[in-house]
Structure 1
Amino acid sequence: MTTETETDVFEEHRPVLLGVAYRMLGRVADAEDVVQEAWLRWSGADRSEVREPRAYLVRVTTRLAIDRLRQVKARGETYVGPWLPEPYVTDIGDTVPDTAERAVLADSVSLAVLVVMESLSPLERAVFVLREAFGYPYADIAAMLDRGEAAVRQLAGRARKHVDERRPRYEVDPTQRRDLTERFLAAAEGGDLEGLMSLLAPDVRLVGDSGGKAKAPVRVLETADKVGRFIVGAARKGGVPDVSWRFLEINGGPAVLALSGGKPDSVFQLDVADGRVQAVYIIRNPDKLHSLATA
């Protein structure tokens, strides 16, 4: 029978386990399923042989996430339109006061980085998450994955090079991002195309994820003119009835949750550099908004 102490130990490490699983899978529901499976493994394990519960649980969670990724790839699932990770509510600031560590964690869970990580192999993704986001030594990662340390170093180098070459360089200053988000929202609501254009970088990109289940661009929009006109046009059409807005932290940065009749309708987040909006992410796939109902 599972004792209260065993439950407490698992709950102590649950945030880390969920963080590992989400970064690997990019889906909140899948990450929660993996953590639940890890709990079942933990509750049935012979804990007299477990010296370090955190290391054991991270190892189990990582392997389960790798299996889940391989299943998804084996099914060859297709997705309608651009894909973005499921929004993940974070509160890094309260738990990680150190600026440098906060920046690393925020970057590792950002939408831009998670999109790039989708093209990594399951093993590369696991090594990248454990090393770059959580700082595990190569020897520990090798033990978790039953691989030699040299092989893990090669996987880490390959994954880091791939991500570094493809991820855009955005600033992670939450105050500036929040300020630009508020100004962006005000300009969009007011149909102020000129004001909106003043906030957008010339080569800004808009990525809309609907999965074919809501209205959103089926291709990535590029250039300030196209993005600005799309945003203002959508606002003027009033596509979201009885809309209200809520600011929250998603994927390590400020974002806006749009509610229609009190229910999640969409999420949008901006990436910022040099005082301008470099990317606009809009998530409207209803399957990806369930976890925000109580956010």
Structure 2
Amino acid sequence: MGRVWAVAAALIVGIAGCGPVDEGTAFADEFESVLDGREKVADYSVDGYNTLPWSGDADVRVTLVAGLADEQIAREVWEITHQDVDPWVEYDLVVEFPAASGDGQAATAAFRLGVSRPAPDTDEAREEVERRAFVARSIVAQGRGETTMWIDTFSRQVTSERDPAEFAAALCAADLGEGYTDLTVSSSDEARPSGRVEFADADSCDDLAGPAALLDAARQVGELADYSISLPEGTREHPAVSVSFVTPPVSTDALRDLADSLDIDLTVA
């Protein structure tokens, strides 16, 4: 990540004595005052961490009100990050906003920014936020029923009532560019079978057809209890598929042969 919008930038190193001793928590208190009372902010949380004396960082989560267009989201996020609170504290900002799933039901979209100093007053900065809002909205729009997108330090995750393998195929058809990076699509807690598809990056879509075909074949073998598809990443050269059945089938030999022919690592639990 870098600069404000995860575009590489120089790391700012604080100098001892330039701020309060408990810099992280002091930043959190000050940033809460920035967020308090903003009309487009429905809810927020700010957690500050005092990593060393006169040094800290923070996690900020902001939930925006419903009905905002992507450009309005970009403007609000820019105004929040443009605040000159404490330039020595870097923070992660998670932005959540109401959206709609593919069938019009409630959905929550989210994206994340790494902020290292007040946002620059440039079109590029606002356009980057707008792009991230568009990608997040586009992802949840492919879901069905209540669809929620959330993120953590390492990944973005979406849960939906739509079958994850079907959901993943729809996302690949949508051409989301960088939107596939570290994205996991999961079924809702009540779904049967439960499922999960893990993307690595945009190239993952090129590897989805084989696992999807293998999953279709597994459904013909017996009723699935759960499944997962992990697309190639790093040292994992081949897709990995794991399936379990409600009732163990008499034989999975044909399924294993198909997996071998497709260069897929298959696990039958």
| TM-score for the superposition, normalised by structure 2 | 0.24
Larger radius of gyration: 2
Structure showing the higher helix proportion among its residues: 1
| TM-score for the superposition, normalised by structure 1 | 0.23
Structure showing the higher strand proportion among its residues: 2
